[in-house]
């Protein structure tokens, strides 16, 4: 079976130890978390996690079932096909000087990225969007000399008029 990247939305009770139990579930079963984003939901009682992992369909199905069994998990939603919108934030510190600064700024304009800090020999640039967009941005910016990269991991929502959480 073919391994693919999968995004899973998990609504959890916002209590101490929930994140530890979820990460322990992954590690104890030999699953990898490619990225994990967590934030409180519309109220302080719940948090929404967006987990990006990879595996074949059987592995992902097992992950979803195991997550659903955890006591603080309220709802597990597979984000697949086109039923969701996902975005991430990328920040990259890139080397620059007077001769390359305008070229880097043009690349930023093309990708709708913004410069958040300017230093004598570097820029910090923020790009947000689909991971594929950020990958393409990085590919063009790398030849200038990437000093540091920070990526948020994906956050996602179901494409629907209904909220994904109700608690």
Does pLDDT of 160 surpass 50? yes
The pLDDT score that the predictor gives to residue 163 is 63
Q: Which residues of 122-155 are buried (b: 16+ CB within 10 A; e: fewer)?
A: bbbbebbbebebbeebbeebeebeeeeeeeebbb
Residue 98, phi then psi, degrees to nearest 5? -60, -30
The pLDDT score that the predictor gives to residue 162 is 67
Nearest to 156 by CA among 43, 77, 90: 77
Give the residue with greater pLDDT, 84 vs 164. Answer: 84
Instruction: List, by residue range, all CATH 3.30.70.260 domains of the chain.
Output: 4-80
Fold topology of 4-80: Alpha-Beta Plaits (3.30.70)
Cα separation values, 153 from 52, 74, 144, 160, Å: 8, 22, 24, 22
Confidence of residue 167 (pLDDT cuts 50, 70, 90): very low
Per-residue pLDDT of 118-138, as tens digits, reads 999 999 999 999 989 999 999
Instruction: List, by residue range, all CATH 3.30.70.1150 domains of the chain.
Output: 86-155
Q: Are strands 46-55 and 4-13 parallel, antiparallel or unpaired?
A: antiparallel
Domain 86-155 sits in CATH 3.30.70.1150: yes
Q: What is the mean pLDDT of residues 49-57?
A: 91
């Amino acid at each position: 079976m073919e391994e693919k990247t999968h995004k899973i939305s998990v609504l959890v009770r916002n209590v101490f130890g929930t994140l530890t139990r979820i990460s322990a579930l992954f590690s104890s079963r030999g699953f990898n978390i490619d990225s994990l984003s967590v934030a409180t939901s519309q109220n302080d009682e719940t948090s929404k996690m967006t987990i990006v992992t990879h595996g074949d369909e059987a592995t992902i199905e097992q992950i979803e079932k195991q997550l659903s069994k955890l006591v603080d998990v309220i709802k597990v939603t597979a984000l697949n096909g086109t039923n969701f919108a996902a975005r991430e934030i990328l920040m990259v510190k890139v080397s620059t000087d007077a001769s390359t600064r305008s070229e880097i700024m043009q690349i930023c304009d093309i990708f709708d990225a913004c410069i958040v800090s300017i230093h004598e020999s570097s820029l910090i640039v923020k790009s947000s969007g689909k991971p594929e967009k950020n990958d393409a941005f990085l590919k063009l910016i790398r030849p200038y000399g990437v000093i540091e990269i920070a990526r948020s991991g994906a956050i996602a929502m179901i494409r629907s008029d209904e909220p994904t959480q109700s608690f």
